[in-house]
Structure 1
Amino acid sequence: MKKSTLLAVLAVAFACKEKPKENTEEMAEEIIEVVEEPEWTTLFDGTSFEGWHYYNGGEIGEPWKIEDGSMVLYPPETRPEGANYNLVTDKEFTDFVLTMEWNIAEGGNSGIFWGVKEDEKYGQPFLTGPEIQVLDDERHPDAKNGPDRLAGALYDMVPPSAKAVKPAGEWNAVEVMINHKTNEGYIMLNGTKIVEFPVEGEGWDALVADSKFADWEAFGAFKTGKIGLQDHGNMVSFRNIKIKEL
């Protein structure tokens, strides 16, 4: 081989060997953001009322009981004037997904609240907290007062778009999302999304203005509040209560 040819071959080999590599420093600076999924927190584990108390009151006792992993309200035949046995969480929440199961007695009525503010000037959770309706649609007269009173409705504001409720005496699974970051709320009943709504701003204000709560100064006024379970004077059970903060 001629000397000039040998030099050319070596030059090509050297060039191939020294082919620029990717800039590892730049690659190292690229940060892959890992978004951790929010964790679920158990609000009721089926064994105690820890984390709950009576609205504007203290430790839970009669007429609530824990049976077979459920909290059950046995409404008294008589009660002191003005007494109520509504339950609320010890902790307040803002943006979340809430899941639970409810079982209403025949002819029964109850509800699930969020955004509840405790204060002696508010005698009931529904004065501040919007409600997801819990109802025996077949027998309770409120079901005949309009579709926004049916089980799963955002009470007196948004009716369910489909009938997904199971009959009284059977367990119904509900999922509620409240997200002020995206201004979205929804209610799912037994796996079907039946209600969607804004949670603040003009859209929310319009819903309130067109409801019985239009003149209630404190209704839906608190982004951060407690989860509540209603004593409406009827037997009702709740279980598997969990929440995921967003």
Structure 2
Amino acid sequence: MLKQTLIISMLGMAGICQAQTKFQPQDTEFYSPVPPVVKTFANKAPSDAIILFDGKDLGEWVSEKDGKSPAAWTISNGMLTVKPQTGGIRTKRDFEDFQLHLEWRSPEVIKGEGQGRGNSGVFLQGKYEVQVLDNDDNKTYVNGQAGSLYKQSAPLVEVRKPENGWHSYDIIYSAPRFNENGRLIKRGMVTVLHNGVLVQNNTELQGTTEYIGMPKMVAHGRGPIALQDHGDLVSFRNIWIRELK
């Protein structure tokens, strides 16, 4: 039986090889559509990126409280810093699938512990939080530390801050999709690199970020990027986004 199986297998492979010989190299080559050109530069956003914060102004942002008032956070030395008690800020524009880059730094003077230490967050479409937190020797629940999808998915590894204190997040986001009746037909997916280290790998969103209780599946369309005011002097810089189609 084994001998027969081996013979059949060899004959099958011979048939495949014979079929392959009928192809020419050009039979598996195609020349259109041609991908668009994106230029890259050292320490700058790609040429097709939308610059959300370049260190100069908050023209792309508004207050999260009403979605209209000017963003009240502080700009100094090319960085944007939370102004406690003014509330979060959000982009004027709404997005769906995207690549987002931003850099963040914990307060220079670290106070508190756990969730009360260098806390902020990046909200994707205003609903799904990638946590910002001072991780250094700061014990907290693992699905609430930096690099987590808050209260949903802990990071694959804990990434500590570089010598200059600035962290980077590169987030690849595929938005959930809902049909005309509000029924979920495709879950959202998030990949996060923290200082170039993979911490979320095509992680499925379970629903909206909730502080108390389970995630909720709420039908929605395009939405903003939002940054959280948690009362700590967290700073941000070099924020840009590329829409994915």
With the shorter chain as reference, the TM-score category is: 0.5 to 0.7
RMSD over aligned Cα atoms: 2.9
| 1:230-241 aligned within 5 A | 230-241=228-239
SS in 2 for 1:92: coil
Q: Match of 2:55?
A: 46
Distance 1:98 1:37, change over 3 A: farther
TM-score by length of 2: 0.67
Cα displacement (A) at 1:114: 0.9
Q: Match of 2:114?
A: none
Matched, 1:69 2:67: no
Which residue among 108, 118, 121 is the counterpart of 1:111?
121
Considering only CA atoms, is the larger Rg found in Structure 1 or Structure 2? Answer: 1
Distance in 1 of aligned mates of 2:242 and 2:123:
16
Is the contact made by 1:53 and 1:90 (CA closer than 8 Å) also made in structure 2? yes
Which residue among 86, 89, 97 is the counterpart of 1:87?
89
Matched, 1:157 2:152: yes
SS in 2 for 1:93: coil
Distance in 1 of aligned mates of 2:57 and 2:215:
38
Which residue among 64, 67, 71 is the counterpart of 1:55?
64
SS in 2 for 1:91: coil
Structure 1 unaligned segments of length 5 or more: list them.
Answer: 1-29, 117-128
Aligned residue pairs total: 186
SS in 2 for 1:177: strand
Higher relative contact order (CA 8 A, sep 6+): 1
Structure 2 unaligned segments of length 5 or more: list them.
Answer: 1-29, 39-47, 111-116, 177-185
Cα displacement (A) at 1:168: 10
**Which segment is superposed worse, 165-174 or 224-233?**
165-174
Distance in 1 of aligned mates of 2:234 and 2:37:
33
Which residue among 117, 133, 136 is the counterpart of 1:135?
133
Distance 1:43 1:134, change over 3 A: same
Q: Structure 1, residues 158-200: CA drift from partner, whole Å, max 9, x if none?
A: 111112231797110101111249954201100011112445x
Distance in 1 of aligned mates of 2:65 and 2:136:
33
Q: Structure 1, residues 139-165: CA drift from partner, whole Å, max 9, x if none?
A: 66xx42x21111111111111111223
Distance 1:243 1:71, change over 3 A: same
Matched residue type, 1:35: P
Q: Match of 1:195?
A: 200
Is the contact made by 1:97 and 1:175 (CA closer than 8 Å) also made in structure 2? yes
Matched, 1:185 2:185: no
Matched residue type, 2:124: W
Cα displacement (A) at 1:74: 3.6
Is the contact made by 1:98 and 1:241 (CA closer than 8 Å) also made in structure 2? yes
Is the contact made by 1:152 and 1:165 (CA closer than 8 Å) also made in structure 2? no
Q: Match of 2:36?
A: 36
Distance in 2 of aligned mates of 1:237 and 1:210:
24
Distance in 2 of aligned mates of 1:242 and 1:190:
16
Question: Percent same amino acid among aligned pairs?
Answer: 29
